[in-house]
Structure 1
């Protein structure tokens, strides 16, 4: 492969990674919008006309936001931490107002360092995913969300009052763990039975640069190709392990190697690249 062809291949792979990441981010945003609309339409505090009006407003606002937001803007614009947190509150407002979940927001300090766009966006996605996980589980009635900034990191605390059975290996936390890992952050989960669970997240304000994509064809073993095919189909680690007759830890090892070889940050990006190829 000559230098020019290698450059074209690298550029194409970068575009595929960016596209897969954008699809994942938009899916998260749409999930919050749909949950908010359902909460409005199911609310006993609104009559049919008012519910329709509110649902239309939420949908229209989401459409406007979708047209305005691009990956380039997210990665190049700095957001004041207070402003980024306000956007999060605005995203969750319909769900909080008309849903069954009581969400308490603890404001970050106004003197906090401005957040790189990618970090601010990831932080909102993480919180939205956590809230949606609590809504889907149907066990939590109250959630507390707190942001803080120590100058080097954005610190996120999320606590619920559910059964207290959540662990770091829970499938519902997989999108959050992948997002945190992509930014070289840390995720800690602690639970107390009958009292709820707590997520403590640290996101560096200076995220690592995007990994360089591999140039040319990616060399995969027969087992890696099998795992990749199942990841692309949406299968979870436990399902992959059962299908292939291997352990969960072995699956995790293969997925980690695939992410590294493909230059992808998350399983969603890896699946997007596999499908694109």
Structure 2
């Protein structure tokens, strides 16, 4: 038996070691955070109200750091499309095993282009959200999930055998729309009454080329530049708030400032001026 193909390359070994080191560092960091929170809550030097306040601040700081670290790790990772799909199947295994919904998987071709980590992560989240929305509706017995790759985009197809009344404006699909928009993708729903609904998603594998927006004419703060880039990518306020770990009200404040500084009256006009 030829075992050479099972031996990881030096680059693969380095990637695995770097990943293991990162995981270990995160585990140590969060262990310290949990120990700190326990110490605060057990302390006899502060009253309950002060202890809660300090514990919340400690946990919030740790969560922000975790999200930042996760974003960095995710953006630097590359996942083979087949491996990313296998992780999706693993994520949905409890639902397949214990739920009443028959989930059928159509695997992508093994020759498909590898996915950027952010795309793979969002793609799995989209499918999970769609399946949960179908389960909550309680009108389908079967759902078919298909991934494909045309070299430039990840193509996701999700079809159920429900009543065929789903639309792209359903509240249950709003998280999907926001995630797809954040990656400058496309989302559509087609439904046939009595035959079921089909969800189609196209996510670009390459991020749009970024330019230095309005640098020559408008002075923007670093945070305003971050908000502007996300607005131009199609992200909504809620998605921007999650990406930057700030509140939606803060996002609205920055967008309002951008409109004023740029001289735009609408969000669409702001995007047009930024892309010019």
> What TM-score, normalized by structure 2, do the two folds share?
0.56
Alignment match of 2:240 (pick from 269, 272, 275): 269
The count of residues paired between Structure 1 and Structure 2 equals 174
In the other structure, the counterpart of 1:149 is 149
Please give the alpha-carbon distance, in whole angstroms, between the structure 2 residues aligned to 1:114 and 1:91. Answer: 19
> What TM-score, normalized by structure 1, do the two folds share?
0.56
Any residues of structure 2 matched to 1:206-225 within 5 Å, and which?
206-208=206-208, 215=221
Deviations 1:151-197 (A, max 9, x none): 11110000011111011111111110111111111111100001110
1:270/1:82 Cα in 2 relative to 1: closer, same or farther (>3 Å)?
same
Please give the alpha-carbon distance, in whole angstroms, between the structure 2 residues aligned to 1:112 and 1:91. Answer: 21
Contact 1:102 1:141 in 2 (8 A): yes
Structure 2 residues without counterparts, runs of 5 or longer: 1-65, 214-219, 251-276
Any residues of structure 2 matched to 1:194-213 within 5 Å, and which?
194-208=194-208
Please give the alpha-carbon distance, in whole angstroms, between the structure 1 residues aligned to 2:235 and 2:111. Answer: 34
> Are 1:76 and 2:49 an aligned pair?
no
1:187/1:105 Cα in 2 relative to 1: closer, same or farther (>3 Å)?
same
SS of match in other structure, 2:247: helix
1:86 positional shift: 0.2
Deviations 1:221-243 (A, max 9, x none): xxxxxxxxxxxxxxxxxxxxxxx
1:211 positional shift: 9.5
In the other structure, the counterpart of 2:167 is 167
Please give the alpha-carbon distance, in whole angstroms, between the structure 2 residues aligned to 1:198 and 1:117. Answer: 26
Please give the alpha-carbon distance, in whole angstroms, between the structure 2 residues aligned to 1:269 and 1:165. Answer: 30
1:136 positional shift: 1.1
1:264/1:189 Cα in 2 relative to 1: closer, same or farther (>3 Å)?
closer
Whose Rg is larger? 2
Deviations 1:105-128 (A, max 9, x none): 001000000000011111000000
1:75/1:141 Cα in 2 relative to 1: closer, same or farther (>3 Å)?
same
> Are 1:115 and 2:115 an aligned pair?
yes
Please give the alpha-carbon distance, in whole angstroms, between the structure 2 residues aligned to 1:217 and 1:88. Answer: 34
Runs of 4+ aligned structure 1 residues displaced above 6 Å come to 209-213
In the other structure, the counterpart of 1:131 is 131
SS of match in other structure, 1:202: strand
Structure 1 residues without counterparts, runs of 5 or longer: 1-65, 219-256
